[in-house]
Structure formats: structure tokens, C-alpha cells
Structure 1
Amino acid sequence: MRSSTVALAIVLAILAAPLRGEVIESTAAGFLVRNTAAINAPPAKVYGALTDGVARWWDPVHTFSHDARNLTLDAKPGGCFCERLPDGGGLEHMRVVYASPGKLLRLSGAIGPLQEAALVGTMTWNLSQAGGGTTVELIYAVGGFRAGGFRDIPTVVDGVLRGQLARLKTLVETGRPD
């Protein structure tokens, strides 16, 4: 009985854990950030919101069109995380390189203002079952050349991604991103 009580306490602690984020490493050649969240929903539901519902949770402030409804994510190898622009144009934010529904989504590309530099980025969303919920680990590794170096960029990127993960968590748990 005691072991099941301890196990339940651990699961509840994981599910109640706040979002955590950190810059793991930052050098002249690039950086690595990691954010984690416990989401009170099964991995399949989280993955569905992550992929099919990106336009519902992605913060419109971090789009070129300022309207997240212009975002699409085709969650298959070679699929595009793209944005339509009001003038009929568009852009590719990232390209899907690995998709395992309910488990993992990996994309390649430099997001936002990082596109202007000679950078390559790999963003990995790891989803794992945690009791009745899901632990999401979001890792983004960026490398290459950026005039002036990276300075405070890793901290800014970490904050933006933590905000995006928070919006995903809130959408899945409440039906609203904020």
C-alpha cells in the first residue's frame, strides 16, 4: 500500500510541476535550450494539439503575419511548419524530419529572426506518458554563424519557447491557449 501511495504522490508532483526552462549551453558556435512541462492529458491528445492545433496555441506575436491562424504544420517527414502572409506570400519556419505520433516530433530550421543568419536549428518535442498525463520536453539546438555572435539570443529564444509550451499546455488542459 505504501509503495502505491508513494507512486501516486510522485505522479501528482510531476503533473503539478510548473514549466521549466533553461539555456543548457551557449558558445560562439551556437546554443541549446530545453523546456519541460507536465500536461494533464494523454500523449495522443497533446501530440494532436501540438501538430493539428498549432494555429490555436502558437502566440500570434511570434508570427510574421501577427495571426497564428495563418500557421500550418504538416506532421510527416518533409512536412512544412509554414505561415501564409496577407499579401499572398508565405514562409517556411521549419521542416518536419521525424514524426512519431504521441511520442516525438522533430523539425529542422531557424525560427523567427534566426532565419536571417546562417544558422541551422533542430527542434525536438519529446512526449512521454507520466501517470495519466504527459511530460513534454522541448529541446532546440541552434548552430552556425550569426554576425555579432549570440549574446542574449539563447535567453530570448528560451523565453519564447517556454511561452509557446505554456500556451500549448493551457490549450490542452483548458481548451484556451491563455
Structure 2
Amino acid sequence: MKIFLFAAPTLAALSSPAFAEVKASSESGFNIVHIATVDAQPDDIWKRLVAPKDWWNKAHSWSGSTEGFYIDAQANGCFCELFQEKGDDDRLKTVGSVEHMRVIFAQPPKVLRMQGALGPLQSEAVTGTLTVAMERSKDSAATKISFSYVVGGYMRYKVAEIAPAVDKVLGEQFRNLLTPYKRVEEVAGKTEGFSLDVENLEDAKAMAGPADDQNNADDGPMEIDPQASPQ
């Protein structure tokens, strides 16, 4: 059974507050930022990060299982999902596959950057870039980690509807990744002072002209039918 990225029951379960934000949006795209500080070493987080079968929610898979999930953490490596089923000999065999994202930058244990349109965005003419950045605190053993997902291009979805849905689902994976670690701090979309591959959006806004500010105005929250397909 094929399970799509934005299954309605899963979105309902994500109603609890998250340290995340749709940081910017326009008619052509959006940017989502999730940031947290956890009591863990970057090396340990990295090892867990590149084993997505251990933390990605199977409800957001295409096959209904994460057993076939893997990340080949090198340039041109794949964040992929294998479709697997048992054969007559009771052994698992691969009967299909899907690429979620493609690795374009890997610097363990600091930065993993991947490009790919997640879930229903895969059928659209968009490019999505996810940067996972980690930085050890200078005065403690804690590590600050972020997900920054930037999506742009032509899509048949309305940005004001699809962006919050993507934010909720990606936020769930972010929390799942960090489940084993004690939270030192939860930050709601604040990028100030954390420059490791997370753009300081306040500075970018200051550099933009009035026309750019108007184009990037927040359209406000809208309800979305998670299972609806674009017409």
C-alpha cells in the first residue's frame, strides 16, 4: 500500500507546538526553518542522521515502511527508499525504489545538504534544498542543529496551503531525529547568532527593497486538505 507524505491522521497528531517556522514565502516558493539545541555530540547526531530508517516516520514513506530507507552521505549520494517484499524463499527482495533527495554537500559532522522535492512536491516543477547544519556550543557539550528547507519553482499547489503542511511533516522528522537527546533549548525560528549554513534572514530582509518586502508578505494561515491533489 502506498502511503503519501501528508496523510491526514499524521498531520492531526502534529498539533503540539514545534520549534519551527515557515520563515519566508512568496507565490513561487517558501523557506522552512527548524532549530534546536540538544545535549549531544555532533558525531553522534550525524550517525543517526544518515540512518533515516531509525527516525523517519513510516507514515511518510511511499512503501509503508522505512526498512528500505538509506542516505549515502557523499556528493551525488542518494536519500532513497527501496520497495521491498518477501519472495517465495522468504527473503526480502527489492521490487522498486524512489529518490527522496540527492546529496550535493556532505561535511561530517557539520553539514549535510540535499536537493529534492519531498512527498507530493515530487510531481511538481520545483526544486527543494534541505540543509542540515550542526554546530557545537562554544561553552558546553551541547550541539545546535537546524533543518532549513527552501522550495522554489512552479507548483499547482497554493504556497499558503502547502507550506504549513510541509512544515508540520518536516518538523515531525526533525523531532524524531532528536528524540534520544535531551533538549537544552528550543528555538522558534530564531537564526540570529547561528550562521552555519543557516541564512540570517533578518539581514537578508534589511537588504531587500520595498518591492521585495511586499512580494514576500505573509499570506496568513489557511486550512489544507492534506489528501487533495492539485487540479
Range of TM-score over shorter length: 0.7 to 0.9
1:115 to 113, 118, 122: 122
Match runs of 1:2-13 below 5 Å: none
Distance 2:32 2:61 in 1: 20
Equivalent AA in structure 2 for residue 122 of structure 1: T
Distance 1:148 1:42 in 2: 39
Report the secondary structure of 2:160's partner residue: coil
* Greater mean alpha carbon deviation, residues 36-45 or residues 92-101: 36-45
**Greater C-alpha Rg:** 2
* Length, aligned pairs only: 155
What percent identity do the matched residue pairs reach?
35
Partner in structure 1 of residue 45 of structure 2: 46
Distance 1:40 1:163 in 2: 19
Distance 1:105 1:19 in 2: 22
Equivalent AA in structure 2 for residue 146 of structure 1: M
Q: 5+ unaligned residues in a row in structure 2: which ranges?
A: 1-16, 86-94, 183-231
Higher strand share: 1
Q: Which runs of 4 or more aligned residues in structure 1 lie more than 3 Å from their structure 2 counterparts after TM superposition?
A: none
2:174 to 152, 165, 176: 165
Judging changes above 3 Å, is the alpha-carbon distance between structure 1 residues 72 and 117 closer, same or farther for their aligned structure 2 residues?
Answer: same
Partner in structure 1 of residue 72 of structure 2: 74
In the alignment, structure 1 residue 24 sits paired with structure 2 residue 19: no
**Residues 106 and 124, structure 1, Cα contact 8 Å, conserved in 2:** yes
* Deviation digits for residues 123-143 of structure 1 (CA, Å, limit 9, x no counterpart): 000101022121111000000
1:136 to 145, 152, 156: 145
Judging changes above 3 Å, is the alpha-carbon distance between structure 1 residues 113 and 171 closer, same or farther for their aligned structure 2 residues?
Answer: farther
Distance 2:160 2:66 in 1: 28
Partner in structure 2 of residue 124 of structure 1: 131
* Deviation digits for residues 34-60 of structure 1 (CA, Å, limit 9, x no counterpart): 001222210011011101x21100111
1:145 to 139, 154, 173: 154
Deviation at 1:151, TM superposition (A): 2.6
